[in-house]
């Protein structure tokens, strides 16, 4: 049986990364591939996806798993960037380097590359990725950056476009999805509370924490702010069954790329909070209303734009996107 190991930001219970892992592991198992995932929580990953799992920082077991594999898959997500920290870029680069050292086929899977400001980091990425069997990126900026580095890459859409989500009947609720971020500020939270209180006070407000370790306290803070503005408003903080909860919404106001994408796939009227270029790009492609991090936009105009969204148009947009597995599958079929 063909064996593959997967390296990424897994086990931290981040909704987007876990959703990507779900798509990837399901596809590999359909190809009859034996899968091992490097995870910060191997037990959680093993039970969630029915795969083998090794602790991300147990380097002895990691090397053994790589040596025993046919493929090393890095991604998806934004692993090769030095904005979060140079350490994480070095870590994921070392996994790629180990795969190449042991003559494994290395795949960079649907990653967002960069920003890369450190000269050493640029040198590492350029030289490692040139040796990989397949490099796929999820956006034009990453493709252009690698092209500048002389790395041959293929641009694909985000794997979450391939995620099967069962559409549910709307429960007439409003989702607000927040993430803690360096540009988060009181003005944004206050105007969001006014938007929700002024226009959605008759609905239940579901506040989504997509990674509890980072976002839950912020979500609680926003819930308290909502109750200060309107003591009678009904709220609930959502941390589990994210896909099902999103699919039953009538509206979504969100920050994280994959929360927005999941909502659009379900035809939920969606407004993006633009904290990152990837969110801005998705909003532009899907014609979503956008709130900036300083929320200088007029609240009434934002509400009007949300109201004017059409479910059929949102669904039509997602159907134009289909993840291209062709080059990926060719490598596995050639190995069998």
- 228 and 312 both lie in a single domain: yes
Q: How far is CA 169 from CA 110, 173, 332, in A?
A: 32, 11, 39
Tell me the whole-structure pTM to 2 decimals. 0.89
Instruction: Give pLDDT tens digits for 36-80.
Output: 999 999 999 999 999 999 999 999 999 999 999 999 999 988 899
Mean pLDDT, residues 191-208: 97
Q: Which DSSP helix (H) or strand (E) runs through 181? A: none
- 119 and 22 both lie in a single domain: yes
Q: What is the largest CA-CA distance in the chain?
A: 62
Residue 200 maps to a domain: yes
- 192 and 287 both lie in a single domain: yes
Query: How does residue 153 score in pLDDT terms, banded at 50, 70 and 90?
Result: very high
- 123 and 192 both lie in a single domain: no
Mean pLDDT, residues 95-105: 98
Residue 163 maps to a domain: no
DSSP secondary structure string for all residues of 78-139: S-S-SSS-HHHHHHHHHHHHHHHHTT-EEEEEEE-------HHHHHHHHHHHTT-SEEEESS
Query: How does residue 151 score in pLDDT terms, banded at 50, 70 and 90?
Result: very high
Residue 293 maps to a domain: yes
Q: Which of 97, 99, 149 is nearest to 122 (CA)?
A: 149
Instruction: Give pLDDT tens digits for 293-318.
Output: 999 999 999 999 999 999 999 999 99
CATH code for the domain of 308: 3.40.50.2000
Omega prior to 76 cis, within 30 of 0 = yes
- 151 and 178 both lie in a single domain: no
- 43 and 118 both lie in a single domain: yes
Q: Print the domain residue range for 80.
A: 3-158+321-335
Instruction: Provide the pairing of β-strand 134-137 with 105-111.
Output: parallel
Q: How far is CA 118 from CA 75, 82, 114, 121, 126, in A?
A: 21, 7, 10, 5, 12
- 258 and 315 both lie in a single domain: yes
- 139 and 275 both lie in a single domain: no
| % of the chain at pLDDT higher than 70 | 100
Residue 78 maps to a domain: yes
Mean pLDDT, residues 172-197: 95
**What is the 8-class DSSP label of residue 160?**
G
pLDDT of amino acid 97: 98
The answer, yes or no, to whether residue 167 has pLDDT greater than 80, is: no
The answer, yes or no, to whether residue 170 has pLDDT greater than 80, is: no
- 134 and 210 both lie in a single domain: no
Please say whether the dihedral angle defined by the alpha carbons of residues 178, 183, 186 and 187, taken in this order, is positive or negative.
negative
pLDDT of amino acid 136: 97
Count of domains for the chain: 2
Do residues 40 and 56 make contact, with C-beta atoms less than 8 angstroms apart?
Answer: yes
Instruction: Give pLDDT tens digits for 118-144.
Output: 898 999 999 999 999 999 998 888 999
Q: How far is CA 16 from CA 20, 21, 171, 251, 290, in A?
A: 6, 9, 23, 19, 20
């Amino acid at each position: 049986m063909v064996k593959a190991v997967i390296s990424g930001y897994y086990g931290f219970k981040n909704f987007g990364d876990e959703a990507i892992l779900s798509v990837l592991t399901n596809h590999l198992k359909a190809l009859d591939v034996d899968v091992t995932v490097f995870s910060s929580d191997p037990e959680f990953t093993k039970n969630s996806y029915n795969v083998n799992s090794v602790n991300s920082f147990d380097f002895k077991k990691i090397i053994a798993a790589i040596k025993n594999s046919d493929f090393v898959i890095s991604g998806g997500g934004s692993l090769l960037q030095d904005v979060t920290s140079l350490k994480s870029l070095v870590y994921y680069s070392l996994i790629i380097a180990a795969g190449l050292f042991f003559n494994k086929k290395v795949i960079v899977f649907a990653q967002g590359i960069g920003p890369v400001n450190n000269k050493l980091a640029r040198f590492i990425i350029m030289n490692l990725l040139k040796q990989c069997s397949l490099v796929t990126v999820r956006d034009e900026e990453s493709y252009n950056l690698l092209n500048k580095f002389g790395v041959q890459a293929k641009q694909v859409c985000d794997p979450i476009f391939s995620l099967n989500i069962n559409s549910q009947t709307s429960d007439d609720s409003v989702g607000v999805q927040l993430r803690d971020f360096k540009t988060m500020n009181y003005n944004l939270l206050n105007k969001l509370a006014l938007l929700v209180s002024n226009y959605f006070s008759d609905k239940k407000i579901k506040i989504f924490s997509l990674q509890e370790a980072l976002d839950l306290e912020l979500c609680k803070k926003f819930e308290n702010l909502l109750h200060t503005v309107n003591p009678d408003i009904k709220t609930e903080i959502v941390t589990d069954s994210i896909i099902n909860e999103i699919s039953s919404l009538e509206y979504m106001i969100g920050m994280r790329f994959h929360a927005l994408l999941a909502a659009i796939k379900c035809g939920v009227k969606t407004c993006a909070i633009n904290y990152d270029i990837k969110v801005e790009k998705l909003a532009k492609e899907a014609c979503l209303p956008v709130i900036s991090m300083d929320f200088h936009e007029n609240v009434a105009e934002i509400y009007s734009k949300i109201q004017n969204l059409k479910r059929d148009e949102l669904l039509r947009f997602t159907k134009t996107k289909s993840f291209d597995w062709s080059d990926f599958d060719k490598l596995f079929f050639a190995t069998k």
